[in-house]
Structure 1
């Protein structure tokens, strides 16, 4: 497993700077990352350094449409029984998930369409204000998916699962933070997992920059706010977490008060995340 400090140092590489393949390649082939041919940014939340979440249970990744037979075999070898897709109907239509034998695909129509990021909200400082707004919207828009994932954790603790969106970065990043928080992870561990997507998406960095350009309606990559939108920073994650506390009273209160889980449910979810 890679050292946390070394991972963090690499994850803080500016998004405009290419990470050489000889640098990121060895990182993406060992824990917490998993090389799954045909996708990217795949890792085991239980293998993040110092993660209290048990290994070989909760996985995250980018889109799966291009999975090769080798990639499918790797997922099968991890024992994954269910895949949760956090994408929009349009994203799914362009890149449908593959059917994997013995794996249940779950997609739940979100409460409303994702809004286009307002680049003006990302201009100041490191874009903290824009990220807080964007991720709080993700929490709300995908609440039915969060509920289904947590029901899986509560009811099917022996069935490993994977969650993905398109880049496996933002929507999936919010999921990772929610799950690690419930498992009792420290703020540093949670933030490290979030920042690791900078390394995990490096193989498709240029493609994702173009995806962000189209998705934000930016004139070009030099438009104010665009760089911050494409970057991952600890300060932005912290701003979002502070927003969750102010809006909902924290992740746990969101799970009980907004998603409708009882205190007993929450206790069982926590236990199933940390104990085999």
Structure 2
């Protein structure tokens, strides 16, 4: 099992390079990752090194349409998940609908408008900070109803473990995961580390996701300027997004109260439920 130092080194692997299977296997089947047959990039936010979240409550993953019967049994049984939040677009859902799992509630709320097509020109400079800030700030805006539903679940159903997912489980899912960790009092380093772990978690489908990015951006090749920055996860990109949230909303907590309509009492209860059983 890889320790924190090994994980921090592994998340730096260039997206153009393969993580050897003999290295990857033991990592994605041990904490903070959770093995669920038919999924990828699955982990428990309470098992991240230094996380203040209580283990077993908040889980994240990529698309779940390939769940096996064993995977479904693990979600409902071993993990005890009661609700799944699908953060995808209508088109993504229609192509790969979430399976029904007995005893598990599926929740999907349509976004206020379609996601923009990433402009590779915005990802050329640095490691793509400008493009990532724009993309994630848009995610925060158009998926507000989903963020609110997740936070209402935390506030009202603290005994019901839940799972959030999108397609890759790294961008939209990364934003809500970062929000929850920040509200729980996680340090910026812990929040960023969880974000970067998706480099490891998406490795089993890396080539597929590169193909999706090629098609989605209409890139002429993987060598087109900005393409690899778009497909990479860097601490600087997350930091740029956090600065954007601070600039436009005053921070995550203020976004929750002023933009999503939660009271200070609600916020205190959400924070408490994230950290205490």
TM-score by length of 1: 0.99
CA distance in 2, matches of 1:213, 1:89: 20
State the Cα distance separating 1:2 from its structure 2 match.
4.2
Greater mean deviation of Cα atoms: 70-79 or 81-90: 70-79
Aligned to 2:151: 150
Aligned to 2:17: 17
What do the CA deviations read for 1:113-164 (whole angstroms, capped 9, x no partner)?
Answer: 0000011000001000000000000000101000000000000000000000
1:159 has 2:156 as partner: no
Aligned to 2:179: 178
State the Cα distance separating 1:3 from its structure 2 match.
2.3
Aligned to 1:26: 26
Alignment of 1:126-275 (within 5 A): 126-275=127-276
Question: Gapped runs of 5+ residues in structure 1?
Answer: none
Aligned to 2:3: 3
Q: Secondary structure at the match of 1:253?
A: helix
Q: Secondary structure at the match of 1:6?
A: helix
What do the CA deviations read for 1:144-189 (whole angstroms, capped 9, x no partner)?
Answer: 0000000000000000000000000100000110000001000110
CA distance in 1, matches of 2:248, 2:154: 25
Alignment of 1:37-116 (within 5 A): 37-76=37-76, 77-116=78-117
CA distance in 2, matches of 1:5, 1:253: 33
State the Cα distance separating 1:4 from its structure 2 match.
2.0
Contact between 1:41 and 1:197, CA under 8 Å: does it hold in 2?
Answer: yes
What do the CA deviations read for 1:199-231 (whole angstroms, capped 9, x no partner)?
Answer: 000010000000111111212111110010000
- Spell out structure 1 runs of 4+ moving beyond 4 A: none
What CA RMSD, in Å, does the superposition of the two structures yield over aligned residues? 0.7
State the Cα distance separating 1:66 from its structure 2 match.
0.5
Contact between 1:2 and 1:31, CA under 8 Å: does it hold in 2?
Answer: no
Provide the aligned length of Structure 1 versus Structure 2: 276
Q: Secondary structure at the match of 1:80?
A: coil
CA distance in 1, matches of 2:20, 2:6: 15
State the Cα distance separating 1:74 from its structure 2 match.
1.1
CA distance in 1, matches of 2:51, 2:159: 19
Contact between 2:2 and 2:26, CA under 8 Å: does it hold in 1?
Answer: no
TM-score by length of 2: 0.99
Contact between 1:35 and 1:42, CA under 8 Å: does it hold in 2?
Answer: yes
CA distance in 2, matches of 1:81, 1:52: 21
